[in-house]
Structure 1
């Protein structure tokens, strides 16, 4: 979807962040995708992006990111300023005590830089759920799992989680299904995707703000909108960058397996079945692409519609150089300042959610 090149309806949030899912590329070992993620994080930091998050997927052929806290540790080790976190740890797959311990270790090693993004998805096949020792209903107790997890940090858990006890690690909740209500119930920032059904997203955000309970980690409702964005010298070239991921998504919806990223020209040369074409077109419909000016305007308009305090950006394409060029162009277009700072904030915009600079005495 290409934005019109009209001027922005509102300023783009002062905070622009990145979600990298460590997607594999055709002909490469999955380990190469993990090493690429670490390298990309260093580049993102140099461009001035605020956060760099990694994700959790199990048993997916085209996605190497299966252990987000381990990968987050590698990313934090390779960087010095950018905030590092998970988008997210799928809590139903884990024991809250173990998750607290892992983030306690991360925060102890990299104080003031760690984010704990949490999701409620479980393995997507019976085999994966069996291997994870969880059932299809594992997410039913998600709210209770969050309560237990957060209790380990403030010392009110059933046992003491070392070294998490007493540390301040900001938690974010990824909206899936009733995620908006759960984020509001716990007073947590909400992360929600800008998908094809925008009205559903806007309704969820409205519900979140209306039912938000102060007293949690966030002092007020805070929304981070996740969106797939590609920027290039022309709208046509930007659209080309998103072809590989759209095709892999189409394959996952029609064949049940997310495939490694193929070169755009290889995808465009395919003769797709009607079902594949429909899934491919649906994946493309949720993507934004265009020139620098077009995407600055599109992101400003998205900010105006959602009231987001932050945008979580993603782009997965076949050539890492093309991806870096896209993020570099976007950083230029939106006023990010290399070195980890940002352009002056609009005082009318929602304030970015960050924890105190110091977690606890060491």
Structure 2
């Protein structure tokens, strides 16, 4: 018996390029995931901004969102997120205002202050070293560009003005939690790769929350890795693709997504294993029964209002099946 009311499930798509695909295939696969997710009852699908990563094809995030939104009709589509210090808020307003005009009522804009890349690439992006210090002010500026233009306003973000695109604050630490609370915005915590401070961040967000025009009460979405298959053993095998990706981070590798292997212990060193297990500590991997119990436990522990799922599976068909099983296990499927 479910202990808490059913909450929505959403998807964070990494737009993975695999050893057996290319960027175009990854982009079309993301659109296909969204089509299926819409039918299976998922609430939203988000795309994240990453740069200089051969295995991720979502660098031009707003374009990818448009590609996905054009192939769907109901599901919300958005950024999870735009790394705002990489950009002028005015330009982001123009981009997401355009998306909001094309796909009204369906566009979300999650904002992060991390670079989403390495230090060398930051220089190519022309990002100033101190840009992240201006993040709170940039969020407020962006919010103002989406508001209706005033009668004497000399600079207007066309066509963004008046679209009121909903903003989210993303985070993996106390900083984003406090900011989201102070601004009265929904908050998404990245426990799919930084689970250590999850409960602390949620507590800070809720305690600091001040109602705003966008949001009357706190709304917290929790990121979580979930991989489902018909059996626990098969799900664990599928999960080795993600485990290898996290292990590679220790040695600075940013390779294409690898096919699953039978024994992950043959792949990683002790240091890689420790690093990957810390980052993946909140993962839920298994059969539908295991998934249902894992989601129930996470929702009960965190009080999350929504979960956003990373189901990082190498084979596209197997990934679709994973997401279908998750929807069925939690009961959101139509």
Fold similarity call, TM over 0.5: yes
Is 1:184 paired with 2:184?
A: no
Is 1:273 paired with 2:279?
A: no
Q: Using the alignment, how far apart are the partners of 2:33 and 2:101 within structure 1?
A: 24
Aligned equivalent of 2:159: 163
Is 1:321 paired with 2:314?
A: no
CA contact (8 A) 2:193 2:280 kept: no
CA contact (8 A) 1:11 1:300 kept: no
Is 1:256 paired with 2:263?
A: no
Q: Using the alignment, how far apart are the partners of 2:238 and 2:170 within structure 1?
A: 26
Alignment gaps of 5+ in structure 1: 1-6, 339-362
Q: Using the alignment, how far apart are the partners of 1:276 and 1:230 within structure 2?
A: 21
Change (3 A) 1:239 1:28: same
Residue 197 (structure 1) shift: 7.0
Residues 239-254 of structure 1 aligned to structure 2 (within 5 Å): 239-252=236-249, 254=250
Aligned equivalent of 1:173: 169
CA contact (8 A) 1:231 1:327 kept: yes
Residues 22-101 of structure 1 aligned to structure 2 (within 5 Å): 22-101=15-94
Match of 1:330 among 323, 326, 331: 326
Residue 31 (structure 1) shift: 2.4
Residue 199 (structure 1) shift: 6.1
CA contact (8 A) 1:120 1:176 kept: no
Q: Using the alignment, how far apart are the partners of 2:86 and 2:194 within structure 1?
A: 28
CA contact (8 A) 1:9 1:304 kept: yes
CA contact (8 A) 1:122 1:136 kept: no
Aligned equivalent of 1:234: 231
After TM superposition, the structure 1 stretch with the greater mean CA deviation from structure 2, 120-129 or 49-58, is: 120-129
TM-score scaled by length of structure 2: 0.93
Aligned equivalent of 2:297: 301
Residue 162 (structure 1) shift: 0.6
SS in 2 for 1:88: strand
Aligned equivalent of 1:106: 99
Q: Using the alignment, how far apart are the partners of 2:293 and 2:286 within structure 1?
A: 10
CA contact (8 A) 1:229 1:289 kept: yes
Q: Using the alignment, how far apart are the partners of 2:22 and 2:196 within structure 1?
A: 39
> Structure 1 stretches (4+) deviating beyond 6 angstroms?
none
CA contact (8 A) 1:55 1:89 kept: yes
Alignment gaps of 5+ in structure 2: none
Q: Using the alignment, how far apart are the partners of 1:198 and 1:164 within structure 2?
A: 35
**What value does the CA root-mean-square deviation take over the aligned residues?**
2.0
Residue 233 (structure 1) shift: 1.7
Q: Using the alignment, how far apart are the partners of 2:295 and 2:320 within structure 1?
A: 18
Higher relative contact order (CA 8 A, sep 6+): 1
Change (3 A) 1:301 1:12: farther
Residue 67 (structure 1) shift: 1.2
CA contact (8 A) 1:12 1:296 kept: no
Change (3 A) 1:307 1:74: same
SS in 2 for 1:172: strand
Aligned length: 330
Aligned equivalent of 1:215: 212
Residue 282 (structure 1) shift: 3.3
Change (3 A) 1:150 1:231: same
Residue 216 (structure 1) shift: 4.1
